[in-house]
Structure 1
Amino acid sequence: MAETYTLEAELRTVIGKQVKQLRRADRVPAIVYGLGQALPITCQQRDLETVLQKAGGTHLVRLTVNGQTYDTLVREVQRDVIRRDILHVDFLRVDLSRKLRTEVAIQLVNVPKLGADLMLSHPLVSVEVECLPANIPDHIEVDASRLNVPGAKLTVADLPALEGVQYLADPHEVIARVESLTGAVAEETAEESTVMAEPELVERGKKQEEEF
């Protein structure tokens, strides 16, 4: 079961441009939504930053607002583009007894060292899963030790089975593959040669037509 983090919050009555007053007081405006409710709140800047660093978007955050508790997941964090201060946070309220769908990061482990003529591509960096909120994985590790020859690949079907977690992506979708740089260069060169040859063929055809 994933770890749950706790955070104290207060109901918020200040809205619009007035939220600047909250930020000057080191409080961050936020909202709790879901399960038919939208609740504007504020959180202490430092406490919120600590929880966000640990919880990310996969761990439960148990908010206590004026004595009432809400089980939530962080869904969106808005930051100042320059100072990176937190401007606003969206918390999704969840029912611990109901499954939900969310994206979980894929992490390759045991990645072999490849030769200079090989390249590892990683087109799928996360996968959608369905599970109970408390069972959301922090990330999903997949063994990449066999990715050491051209054409070798990992697909969603190679992801480890996790109790209570269902993968929703196509089992054949490629997570990572090994590609040959030599083959790619040769193919690109062949394509360029074909393109360069086409005008010559056209010119030759025109000349033959004129002769006839």
Structure 2
Amino acid sequence: MDNKTLSAEIRTELRKSGAKKVRKSGRIPAVIYGHNEPVNISVDDIEFTKKFEKISENTIITINVGKNSYSVLVKNFQDDILTQQIKHIDFFEIEKGKTLKTNIPVHIEGSAKGAREGGLLEVRLHELEVECLPKDIPESITINVEELEAGDAIHVGDVEIPKGVKVLNMLEQTVVSVTLIKEEVEEVEIDEELLEGEEAEGEEEESEEDSE
């Protein structure tokens, strides 16, 4: 489990104008909430961007605010659609020794046999919802699809889950599958042939009526 550290400052101006001032100074407005009173803070934009090229809600972060430190997860963030600049972050404070619910990304490994033979590999679930202690949060769940043939599927109940982690998704949910696209194409071709035959018969009947 990856654990990163951030330095933060207490944020006292909580209005929109105050948030704008924080952003202009090169910092990101944020809040820490959870089992204690919310703490309004700001973190350095450059430091956060360097340490978090990709924001994930399963990375434990230690935030140091003066003499206090908080173990948190990123629960939500707002960014600018045009500039991609992060405008606000919600950090959720975790309690040691207490389980929590979070989403873990699914990582697909290998090239499916069925896909190599012309099938289509489809990933139905990109994340799994799990419950576990903070120390047991996995970075990702890896699924090897090498042996998947056309028509095969891997369901939640088939996935190997790390010890101490409970999956909350329904076990029969499909995570990844290989679709038989060749058969679909053949069926379409057969239907087109039948349609052409029916059209030809119709034309013959019309020509017979005209000759009469």
> Shorter chain as normaliser: what TM range?
0.7 to 0.9
Q: Classify 1:112/1:144 alpha carbon distance in 2 versus 1 (closer, same or farther; 3 Å).
A: same
Number of the residue aligned with 1:42: 42
Alignment of 1:25-104 (within 5 A): 25-53=25-53, 56-104=56-104
Alignment of 1:152-171 (within 5 A): 152-171=152-171
Q: Classify 1:102/1:188 alpha carbon distance in 2 versus 1 (closer, same or farther; 3 Å).
A: farther
Q: Classify 1:189/1:40 alpha carbon distance in 2 versus 1 (closer, same or farther; 3 Å).
A: farther
Q: Percent identity?
A: 26
Offset of residue 194 of structure 1: 10
Offset of residue 192 of structure 1: 8.6
- Encode CA deviations 1:127-171: one digit per residue, 9 max, x unaligned: 111101121111100111111x22111111221131111111122
Number of the residue aligned with 1:118: 119
Give the Cα–Cα distance (whole angstroms) in 2 for the partners of residues 58 and 194 of structure 1.
55
Contact 1:104/1:127 (8 A) holds in 2? yes
Number of the residue aligned with 1:208: none
Contact 2:57/2:102 (8 A) holds in 1? no
Give the Cα–Cα distance (whole angstroms) in 1 for the partners of residues 136 and 17 of structure 2.
39
Give the Cα–Cα distance (whole angstroms) in 1 for the partners of residues 8 and 191 of structure 2.
61
Gaps of at least 5 residues in structure 1 are 196-212
Give the Cα–Cα distance (whole angstroms) in 2 for the partners of residues 65 and 179 of structure 1.
52
What is the one-letter code of the residue matched to 2:171?
P
Number of the residue aligned with 2:202: none
Contact 2:74/2:89 (8 A) holds in 1? yes
Contact 1:142/1:158 (8 A) holds in 2? no
Gaps of at least 5 residues in structure 2 are 196-212
Offset of residue 183 of structure 1: 2.0
